[in-house]
Amino acid sequence: MSQTEVRTIAMTWLAMILFLNLGGSLPRSAHASPLGNAVVAAPCGEAEFIAALNTVQSSGGGTITFACGIASIPFTTFKNISSNVVIDGAGA
């Protein structure tokens, strides 16, 4: 391999490294953090879950947590989740 070829390869690698490193500092569009967190509380039924889900989805996303202890919430219909929603059952 000639010195010209070695230089060309080295410059190509250097350019790629600079491009990748600078790419992380370019301006990016901001993403709002979800502010619509909600808690499902007593009596911990489907209506309370729907209210919490509506709160979270109307704000663009968030986390639904439960203050129900160990309980089951039977649903009578499917729930459509159309935003970034985390359902945190705290392992219950």
Average pLDDT of span 16-34: 45
Average pLDDT of span 37-55: 93
Average pLDDT of span 44-54: 94
Specify the length of the chain in residues.
Answer: 92
* The two three-digit tokens of residue 62, written as one number: 């968030």
* The two three-digit tokens of residue 53, written as one number: 């889900």
pTM (global) more than 0.75? no
Residue 37 phi, psi (nearest 5): -65, 145
When the pLDDT of each residue in the chain is averaged and rounded to a whole number, the result is 77
pLDDT given at position 22 = 47
Average pLDDT of span 12-34: 47
Q: Place 58 in a pLDDT band, splitting at 50, 70 and 90.
A: very high
